[in-house]
Structure 1
Amino acid sequence: MNIADMIRHLASGSGGTSLGITVGEVTAIDREARTVDVAPLDEGAPLLGMNLQANQGSSLGCVQIPRMGSYVIVGFTDNGSSGIVLLCDDVEEVRVTVSGIDNSLLVNDDGIILNGGNLGGLVKVEELTRRFNLIERDINRLKELMMSWSPIPQDGGASLKALASSWSAAPLIESTRNDYENERVRQ
């Protein structure tokens, strides 16, 4: 029997396990247990403790936390004794945690957090490049001044001071983290 035949067999109910699907509204969320309670739209009995991932004892894998009051599609087997949220109409957050390595992703209303977010926001490349270019142009101006300067005997550096005065009169503004950090995407 191939996979397509197995799916047909399970879906037909002749495999000893019936497969049902219902649509409902999320009435409670338990983030720790990774379950939700759902009020079916057909006004049937409330579905309590519907799983958000296959292994409720695990903190690994991918889990979508639906928003309170949003609609979900719940698939269940064995006459509803075991159910899992298949699709969400609106999600509050998505968590992805990979086993064996320290890789994680959290997406919610606050933004995106990669691997815990302890390193701060991602760099805004355009702003950082603009800032680097400003500094590089300033250094190049100083180099040009130095190259155009010819020492004059016995002037005590007055000619160099005159050349450098135009350059040194316009100091650079110090950068701050906010100038180039994207706080919505942290790593």
Structure 2
Amino acid sequence: MADLRNIIRQLAQPDGEAIPLVCVVDSVDKDTRTIDCTPLNEGAPLLGVNLQANQGSKFGVCFFPAVGSFVVVGFVADGSAGVVLGTDEIDSAEIIIGNYSAVIDRDGCRFDAGNISAHITTDAVVFNGGELGGLPVVGDLAKRLNIIEKDINTLKTVFASWVPVAQDGGAALSTAATSWAESQLSLTKAADYENTKVKH
């Protein structure tokens, strides 16, 4: 009777059932979105294992495992094709939806939406290529503007308190403006007010 049960169980199982394998990543091909890996059970190396459902795809979500990391490989099409089901360490991750993309790797994070971008590294944040330079440091810029505004207000006070004297050829105005004219402003330098860690 036990033999009959075992025979029925064997007949009920699908042919060629493949179980997932834990493997070590040998190489990664980002262009084809595949890996080569070696099973921990010392089986034959698996070549061209898909990282996505469609290896020819250039959109969707794709995790690129680090060489030497562990992955779990499942099988489709009666075991003739493998696909990575999970990984423990990744070198990069890509999410691409239409014109929108996000790439995260050891160099930083890059977000692109059409012609708008934000690239983040440990050194800086760069928006839209950073061609306009660093964002202004508002506190320092406000101090500089206050110096210029005070200088203009001093000149206004000179003119407001000046009393024209007939036939003096402007000597009274010259005398009134002497102290203002002697204190020259230094030229503004962009580098003094630029935050080079945030560029736009």
| Corresponding position: 1:50 with 2:49 | yes
| Corresponding position: 1:20 with 2:29 | no
| Corresponding position: 1:150 with 2:149 | no
Instruction: Provide the rounded CA distance (Å) in 2 between the counterparts of 1:17 and 1:105.
Output: 39
Tell me if the contact between 1:26 and 1:68 (Cα under 8 Å) persists in the aligned partners: yes
Aligned counterpart, 2:3: none
Of 68-77 and 152-161, more deviation after overlay is shown by: 152-161
Tell me if the contact between 1:71 and 1:89 (Cα under 8 Å) persists in the aligned partners: yes
How does 1:105-124 map onto structure 2 within 5 Å? 105-115=102-112, 119-121=128-130
Aligned AA for 1:91? I
Could you report, residue by residue, the CA deviation over 1:95-143 in whole angstroms, capped at 9, with x for unpaired residues? 11112xx211111111112227682259987x63344434433343334
How does 1:35-114 map onto structure 2 within 5 Å? 35-99=34-98, 102-114=99-111
Which structure carries more relative contact order (alpha carbon 8 Å, separation 6+)?
1
Aligned counterpart, 2:191: 175
Aligned AA for 2:154? L
Aligned AA for 1:86? L
Count of residue correspondences: 168
| Corresponding position: 1:30 with 2:29 | yes
1:156, distance to aligned residue in structure 2 (A)? 4.5
* 3-state DSSP of counterpart to 1:175: helix
1:92, distance to aligned residue in structure 2 (A)? 1.2
* 3-state DSSP of counterpart to 1:149: helix
Tell me if the contact between 2:63 and 2:93 (Cα under 8 Å) persists in the aligned partners: yes
For residues 143 and 177 of structure 1, do their structure 2 counterparts lie closer, same or farther at Cα, with a shift above 3 Å needed?
A: closer
Aligned counterpart, 1:163: 180
Which structure would you say has the larger Rg? Answer: 2
Instruction: Provide the rounded CA distance (Å) in 2 between the counterparts of 1:52 and 1:81.
Output: 15
Tell me if the contact between 2:102 and 2:111 (Cα under 8 Å) persists in the aligned partners: yes
Q: TM-score, length-normalised on structure 1?
A: 0.69
1:91, distance to aligned residue in structure 2 (A)? 1.3
Instruction: Provide the rounded CA distance (Å) in 1 between the counterparts of 2:143 and 2:41.
Output: 64
Percent identity of equivalent pairs: 27
Q: TM-score, length-normalised on structure 2?
A: 0.65
Aligned AA for 1:73? V
Of 35-44 and 157-166, more deviation after overlay is shown by: 157-166
